[in-house]
Amino acid sequence: LGREKVKTPAGEFATIKVRTFPKYEGVFMNKGEIFVWFTDDSRRIPVLMKSTIAIGSLVSTLRSMEQGKAISGL
């Protein structure tokens, strides 16, 4: 959908915004679209997610992260 700057408690990120249409049932039944913002780099870290579900809305925001050890052979 495009590129956007997103500010979270973990920092400000250049992101790529994508949209998906999952099919869940029950309380988390999707009522439309899910938007996810991934970092615009090779890591593609999800930093923000927004959706409407059967009981309201859902927002997930990256609050913190730690740099892990590199995996060799990738």
Residues 41 and 50 sit within 8 Å (Cβ to Cβ): no
What are the domain boundaries of the chain? 2-61
pLDDT digits (tens, 9 = 90+) for 6-64: 999 999 999 999 998 777 666 555 567 889 999 999 999 999 999 887 778 889 999 99
> What is the pTM assigned to this prediction?
0.78
> Under a CB-based contact definition with an 8 Å cutoff, are residues 37 and 17 in contact?
yes
Is-contact 12 6, C-beta < 8 A? yes
Q: What is the largest CA-CA distance in the chain?
A: 44
Per-residue pLDDT of 20-33, as tens digits, reads 877 766 655 556 78
